[in-house]
């Protein structure tokens, strides 16, 4: 295993690492102090924002310490911090993905802030992912001498951490939950997002410090940053489009909620007014006959299909009259004051002396209905109540039949649900629901309206998703094209250098071949000249021998001719040939022979004054004149 080397960043990179690491440590310590002192202001930037969990603050502290150790070159401390952060992030991710509780969420601190928290004490999924990347990066960057590809991946990881933090912060800025939290998952705290951005920037400085030693690092790093910038801008654009679309849908839902509120209020007024008129007639004319009252009551019930019965309760809170009788037999002589809740409700209605809507007292067939209670006062004497009971579901179904089509509607009395239209769609109710208060005749109900799946499918546009997919694809393509272009340029430069070397080598070989060819031609010429010289020497030799013989014979014949006319004629043809007779003999090998005629040793050399050739002088003196070749040959044969 190679021994780790100390990292020595440049002053600028060291300053960035120290600043970002120190800020992360301070931020983590402040949040930890907030947990121990139960200071909610340190845990939540805004009361409606998600708090930073204890484990997230601990992770920030460890990451900041690891970054400071990385700037100082303490590799062992960097490795320890990176291992702890990686373990924390991986365990949290495993808890989310596996749906299990590993017991680490509240290991160090009991959770007491529940805002935007799905699992008590558990950091958000985005924060766990950032810590996993940060832990890996700390372990990778604690040693130097990495390859360019390894450093490029480390730079991508640190840039991804920065992008996650920026996107979460932008989500808080535009107040859109979908980018800083997941459904049924704890939201990422805004200061956790800030800490991730700081740590990512610090690690980017460390990666840059090591990567600049590679000749191909700067161009590739610039291409990667361009791609990540486009991806981050795409995410922000996607969020803005989603926020705009969500605002439009929520605005339309709020309009439908107001319409539902007005419709329910108006439909509630309709059965109350006739009931109040009956009570005012009772108060003016006194107690009516039972048969007349029952006739009016049955007519009233028949006019409103959702009406269940009309009941007269005497001052002792006993049911005396009921109409219609069929289906309501059990209500006759029922003591409504037996239960404390019923008695308190009727007493509250009597004290107001006005009509009041309350929950059904449970003596009819529909326990989830409601009733309209109107107190009767003849003069100042209390004469009981006139109650009109209604089936709530059938009443609201009829009232909202053509209101807010495609929307789900629910009515609540406090936390108790009274009515629901579109039973499915809990998720859409939670995400898109708009609420309104129904405050009339003493009832304080809450109505909630939300778009259903079919309506959302028609209202939601594909533009945000197309923009997201297109932007991410564009970022990936630009990054890939940039890397491919840089790779092609690098390879082209390499090929150009290799071609130049090959051309130089080819030129050298051509020059060498030309030199070899010239030497071969010169050698061939020398061989030809040598062969020609040998041939000429052979021819000359073959010609010299017969000529020498001829010349010798001619000289002999001239000597034999004497002084006669033939000799004179010979002398006329060859003047001076007689004098040449006395010339010295030229030996082919000087110093090895003696003159046969004169008896002179070869050391007694002389030079012929006629031809300048060396010869032997018998008298020891130098002769002038040319010795004929025939004579020389004769002397040589001699």
- Provide the pLDDT for residue 114: 63
Task: Please give the average per-residue pLDDT across 94-111, as a whole number.
Answer: 78
In this predicted structure, what is the pLDDT of residue 184? 41
Greatest alpha-carbon pair distance for the chain in Å reads: 213
Q: Are 438 and 351 members of one domain?
A: yes
**DSSP SS3 for 112:** coil
| CA–CA gap between residue 247 and residue 244 (Å, rounded) | 5
Q: What is the pLDDT of residue 515?
A: 92
| pLDDT per position as a tens digit, 328-369 | 777 777 777 776 767 777 777 777 778 888 776 555 445 567
Would you place residue 9 in the very low, low, confident or very high pLDDT band (cuts 50, 70, 90)? low
403-426: pLDDT as tens digits? 888 888 888 888 888 888 876 667
Which pLDDT value is given to residue 614?
Answer: 44
Share of the chain above pLDDT 70, in %: 76
Q: Are residues 550 and 434 in the same domain?
A: no
Place of tokens 């290991």: 107
Domains contained in the chain, number: 4
Question: What is the pLDDT confidence band of residue 615, given thresholds at 50, 70 and 90?
Answer: very low
* Ramachandran angles phi, psi of 574, nearest 5°: -130, 80
* Stretch among 233-247, 374-388, 463-477 having the lowest mean pLDDT: 233-247
**22 against 99, higher pLDDT:** 22
* The domain boundary residue, chosen from 455, 483, 512: 455
* pLDDT the model gives residue 44: 78
**Same domain, yes or no, for 264 and 133?**
no
380 and 278 assigned to the same domain:
yes
* The residue to which tokens 């998720």 are assigned: 427
Which of the pair, 228 or 198, is modelled with greater confidence? 198
**61 and 193 together in one domain:** yes
In a domain, 461, yes or no: no
Average pLDDT over residues 310-322: 84
User: Are 538 and 585 within one domain?
Assistant: no
592 within some domain: yes
Could you tell me if residue 373 is inside a domain?
yes
Contact residues for 144 (Cβ-Cβ < 8 A; gap 6+): 4, 5, 6, 7, 210
Identify the pLDDT of residue 180: 44
Pick from 537, 557, 575: which residue ends a domain?
Answer: 575
CA–CA gap between residue 127 and residue 192 (Å, rounded): 7
pLDDT tens across 518-577, in order? 999 899 988 888 888 888 888 888 888 888 888 888 777 777 766 667 666 666 665 555
CA dihedral 395, 398, 400, 405 (to 10 degrees): 140
**Most confident range, picked from 63-67, 169-173, 630-634:** 63-67
pLDDT of residue 286: 83
The verdict on residue 297 lying in a domain is: yes
pLDDT for the residue 574? 59
Local confidence band at 629 (pLDDT 50, 70, 90 cut-offs): very low
Q: Is residue 512 part of a domain?
A: yes
164, 194, 214 — which closes off a domain? 214
Average pLDDT over residues 455-465: 80
Q: Give yes or no: residues 20 and 102 share one domain.
A: yes
Domain limits for position 540: 493-575
Question: Over 471-523, what HEC string results?
Answer: HHHHHHHHHHHHHHHHHHHHHHHHHHHHHHHHHHHHHHHHHHHHHHHHHHHHH
Q: Is the pLDDT score of 619 beyond 60?
A: no
Burial class (CB in 10 A: 0-12, 13-18, 19+), 28: buried
Mean pLDDT estimate for the chain: 75
For 551, the 3-state DSSP assignment is helix
Residue of 144 and 235 predicted with greater confidence = 235
């Amino acid at each position: 295993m190679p021994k780790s080397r100390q990292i020595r960043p440049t002053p600028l990179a060291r300053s960035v690492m120290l600043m970002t690491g120190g800020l992360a440590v301070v931020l983590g310590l402040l949040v930890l102090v907030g947990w121990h002192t139960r200071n909610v202001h340190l845990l939540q930037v805004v009361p409606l924002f998600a708090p930073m969990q204890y484990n997230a603050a601990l992770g920030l502290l460890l990451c900041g310490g690891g970054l400071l150790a990385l700037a100082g070159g303490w590799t062992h401390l960097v490795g320890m911090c990176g291992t702890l952060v990686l373990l924390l992030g991986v365990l949290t991710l495993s808890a989310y993905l596996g749906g299990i509780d590993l017991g680490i969420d509240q290991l160090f601190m009991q959770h007491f802030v529940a805002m935007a928290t799905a699992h008590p004490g558990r950091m958000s999924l985005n924060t766990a992912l950032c810590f996993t990347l940060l832990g890996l990066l700390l372990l990778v960057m604690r040693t130097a001498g990495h390859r360019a590809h390894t450093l490029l991946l480390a730079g991508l990881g640190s840039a991804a951490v920065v992008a996650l933090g920026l996107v979460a912060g932008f989500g808080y800025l535009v107040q859109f939950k979908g980018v800083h939290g997941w459904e049924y998952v704890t939201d990422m705290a805004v200061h956790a997002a800030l800490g991730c951005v700081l740590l990512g920037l610090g690690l980017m400085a460390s990666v840059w410090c090591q990567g600049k030693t590679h000749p191909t690092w700067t161009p590739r790093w610039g291409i990667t940053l361009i791609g990540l910038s486009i991806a981050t801008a795409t995410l922000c654009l996607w969020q803005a489009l989603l926020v705009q679309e969500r605002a439009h849908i929520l605005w339309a839902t709020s309009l439908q909620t107001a319409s539902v509120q007005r419709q329910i209020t108006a439909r509630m007024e309709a059965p109350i007014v006739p009931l109040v008129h009956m009570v005012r007639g009772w108060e003016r004319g006194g107690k009516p006959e039972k048969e007349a009252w029952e006739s009016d009551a049955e007519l009233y019930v028949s006019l409103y299909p959702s009406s269940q019965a009309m009941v007269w309760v005497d001052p002792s809170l006993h049911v005396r009259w009921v109409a219609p009788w069929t289906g309501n037999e059990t209500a006759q002589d029922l003591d409504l004051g037996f239960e404390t809740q019923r008695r308190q409700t009727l007493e509250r209605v009597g004290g107001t002396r006005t009509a009041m809507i309350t929950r059904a007292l449970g003596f009819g067939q529909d326990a989830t209905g409601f009733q309209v209670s109107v107190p009767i006062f003849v003069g100042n004497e209390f004469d009981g109540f006139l109650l009109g009971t209604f089936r709530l579901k059938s009443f609201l179904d009829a009232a909202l039949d053509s209101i807010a089509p495609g929307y789900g509607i629910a009515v609540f009395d406090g936390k108790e649900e009274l009515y629901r239209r579109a039973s499915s769609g809990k998720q859409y109710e939670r995400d898109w629901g708009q609420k309104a208060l129904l405050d009339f005749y003493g009832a304080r109900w809450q109505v909630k309206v939300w778009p259903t799946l079919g309506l959302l499918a028609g209202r939601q546009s594909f533009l945000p998703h197309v923009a997201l997919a297109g932007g991410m694809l564009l970022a990936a393509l630009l990054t890939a094209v940039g890397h491919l272009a840089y790779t092609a340029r690098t390879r082209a430069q390499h090929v150009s250098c290799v071609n130049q070397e090959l051309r130089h080598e080819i030129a050298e070989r051509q020059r060498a071949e030309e030199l070899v060819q010239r030497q071969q031609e010169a050698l061939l010429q020398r061989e030809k000249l040598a062969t020609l010289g040998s041939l000429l020497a052979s021819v000359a030799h073959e010609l010299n021998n017969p000529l020498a013989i001829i010349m010798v014979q001619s000289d002999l014949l001239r000597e034999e001719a004497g002084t006669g006319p033939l000799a004179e004629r010979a002398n006329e043809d060859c003047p001076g040939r007689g004098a040449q007779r006395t010339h010295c003999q030229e030996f082919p090998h000087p110093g090895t022979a003696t003159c046969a005629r004169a008896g002179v040793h070869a050391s007694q050399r002389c030079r012929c004054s006629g031809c300048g050739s060396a010869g032997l002088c018998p008298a020891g003196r130098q002769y002038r004149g040319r010795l004929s070749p025939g004579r020389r040959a004769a002397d040589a044969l001699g």
